[in-house]
A and B are shown apart, each in its own frame.
Chain A
Amino acid sequence: MIEGYIPYIFAISLFVLGLGTIVMKNNLIKILIGLDIMESAVHLFLISLGYRTGGTAPIWTGITGEKIFVLPIPQALTLTAIVIGLATLAMALSITVQVYRHYGTLDIREIRRLRG
């Protein structure tokens, strides 16, 4: 029984790990890694939702007989989410380069000139 829940438990642990990284680390790059871990955890969660034991890839080839397919919708959702995550990460890294140019550091304790 517990085997079926392992992917979910793993995904949630990864999610918490990523969230912890964002909250506790001071280096901007590490924070972005944490953000990416968090996103990957959700992708893993989505993929696990559609998985069926012994199922094949959901590609229709006209074969006859009984076949178990894994559910294709979570895969489509995950693909979309991966692309979005990539865009966010690219944006984040390019702003990080600018941050380094202005501040000469990536320590978020020193990137605090805005106050009030």
Chain B
Amino acid sequence: MNIMEHIAILVVITPLFGAFSTPFVSLAGKKAADIWVGIFSGLTFVFSILLGLKVLRSGIVIYTLGAPEPAIATVDYNGLIFPVRILLEVDALSALLALVISLIGFFAAIYSWRYMEHDTGVEKFYTLFLLLLTGMLGIVLTGDIFNMYVFLEIMSISAYALVAFRKETFEAVEAGIKYLVVGSAASTLILLAVAILYGVYGSLTIAQIAHLIEVSPSPLIWGALALYLTGFILKAGIVPLHMWLIDAHPAAPSSISALLSGVVIKTGAYAIIRIFFTLYGVEVMNRALIGWIIVVIAVITMFVGGSLGLIQQDLKRLLAYSSVAQMGYIALGIGVALIAFNTTAGDAGLVGALFHLLNHAIMKGMLFLIAGVILHQLGTRNINEMGGLIKKMPITSACFIIGGLAIAGVPPFNGFVSKLILYEASAMISPALAVIAIISSALTLGMYLRVIQTAFLGRAPETLKDIRDPPASMLIPIVILAILIVIFGILPSLPVDSIITPAVEAVKNQASYLSAVLP
């Protein structure tokens, strides 16, 4: 079997197989389960890299399930050519997301080895963890809207279970049930949107529907768009549907918080991009109107996240508010790209949005892992109970300071570059927008400076005597992510030229996404 031919499906089924084999492996002990999960999340990461290389080298990859020839999506029925099977369609945007997801997933798996050592039921944790990865990878790779819904539910249900995993604490249970109720309602809205599109066009393949929408837009598709947007705005944690995120992300075990804040909400952003630019296409919609709606929502999101984050005492809760604020920046980029599609400003908006998506996944993944280290070593999440950590755990503290400054947009870190691109893009639309974005970035800076000042600098309380850096398996993922932050900040052209620009081209080029499936 040629691996490269089946690489797209391997990215999805590797974590799926790992998920359901982990309980059997764990019969041989926790150590075996640890290594098993490490192997499978590592393999997923390797396959994602290979998939990305294949996409960069030979364009869009099609993988049709159950077809005699995976690369051919359509059947010829008396001269009528149309796709019938479930298919994976991987362009540079999907490949970028898959890479980010499997990177953070791999590090979170390694980190979980020691972090989860005091918990019971770790094999179930690992199963849910790998299912969460499967769901996210499926969402970004699939080329079929119903399949996307199925993967969305795989992701969501395992996320609900993981948020409520420490069921002996009231916090996890309350956050879990809140997340579950609003999350399932959102999923149902998305399913209704899928049903409406199927009812109108009789197809589930994204490329086919996009083609039919272009040929004959029906008024019903706007209802479907509204349902889709509501659902995915909730999944992405954008204001006004962000309240579940503030409770759910801090309540989960920290390696899961890193995944939830780092990548799970990014799948919502991915779906919004995919729906706007590929499924509907910018030509059909009133893009100035929809773009401005997204921009307004984004601005409110930045302010709500930034200002409420300032008053938090709980470190993980503060990080969750910061995630809301940063999703606002990504939404801002998407909105600008819609308003000024195919101009310099629009392109810059997309580059900024996707680069910030990548950066935020790295930064927030790392910050939540560090919050987990602090919780693991100190036993508290309250910022006021911390102090002088930089003397006790120098490496962890240095990484937190790097991450905090990066997310606030301080040079020379990666967050500065992506935010700068977003400021430039929005300034070309309206200078006031850029000013607002800069002000809300100042809120984020204030938020992180307060944490750095109180928790890491200053004098250590008497209670924190025997604190030191965590074991290597927890420290190494954090350090690697911190190094990535610095590298992406000093050499931004490295990621932008190699992976972001192809993804932006893929987003803009709806025709090639369609012609890869339809002859």
**Chain A residues in contact with chain B, CB under 8 A?**
15, 19, 22, 28, 31-32, 35, 38-39, 42, 45-46, 49, 73-74, 77, 80-81, 84, 87-88, 91-92, 95-96, 98-99, 102-103, 111-114, 116
Contact = CB atoms under 8 A, between A and B. Distances in A.
Interface string B165-199: 00100110111110011001101100110010011
Contacts of A113: 170-171, 174
A80 B150 contact: yes
Given A74-B198, A91-B157, A116-B314, A99 B174 contact: yes
Contacts of B204: 73
Contacts of B185: 19, 22, 35, 38
A46 B184 CA distance: 18
Contact of B181 (A46, A49, A92, A103): A92
B146 interface: yes
B170 A102 contact: yes
Contacts of A95: 160, 164, 167, 173, 176-177, 180
A23 to B, nearest CB: 9
Given A88-B153, A116-B311, A99 B177 contact: yes
Interface in B118-169: 146, 149-150, 153, 157, 160-161, 164, 167
Contact of B195 (A28, A32, A42): A42
A55 to B, nearest CB: 16
Contacts of B195: 42, 45-46, 49, 77
B26 to A, nearest CB: 21
A115 B251 CA distance: 12
B364 interface: no
B170 A91 contact: no
B314 to A, nearest CB: 7
B247 interface: yes
Interface residues of B, number: 36
Contacts of B171: 113-114
B317 interface: yes
Contacts of A81: 149, 191
A98 B311 CA distance: 30
B177 A111 contact: yes
Given A80-B150, A84-B150, 7 more contacts: A32-B181, A45-B195, A81-B191, A88-B187, A99-B173, A114-B171, A114-B175
B177 A49 contact: no
B176 to A, nearest CB: 5
B173 A116 contact: no
10 contacts: A45-B195, A49-B198, A80-B146, A84-B150, A91-B180, A95-B160, A99-B174, A102-B173, A102-B174, A114-B175
B314 A92 contact: no
B21 interface: no
Given A35-B185, A92-B184, A111 B174 contact: yes
With a 10 A CB-CB cut-off, give which of A35, A74, A91, A114 has the most chain B CB atoms. A114
B307 interface: no
A49 B199 CA distance: 6
B312 interface: yes
A13 B173 CA distance: 32
A22 B183 CA distance: 12
Contacts of B149: 81
A81 B190 CA distance: 12
Contacts of A103: 170, 174
Interface string B307-339: 010011110010000000000000000000000
Contacts of A19: 185
A65 B161 CA distance: 52
Nearest to B196: A45
Nearest to A31: B181
Contacts of A49: 195, 198-199
A96 B199 CA distance: 35
Given A81-B191, A114-B247, A22 B181 contact: yes
B105 to A, nearest CB: 22
Interface in B12-66: none
A95 B165 CA distance: 10
A28 B184 CA distance: 14
A28 B176 CA distance: 13
Contacts of B181: 22, 31-32, 35, 92
Contacts of A80: 146, 150
A40 to B, nearest CB: 10
A99 B176 CA distance: 9
A28 B177 contact: yes
Contacts of B199: 45, 49
Contacts of B192: 15, 42, 45
A80 B154 CA distance: 12
B312 A116 contact: yes
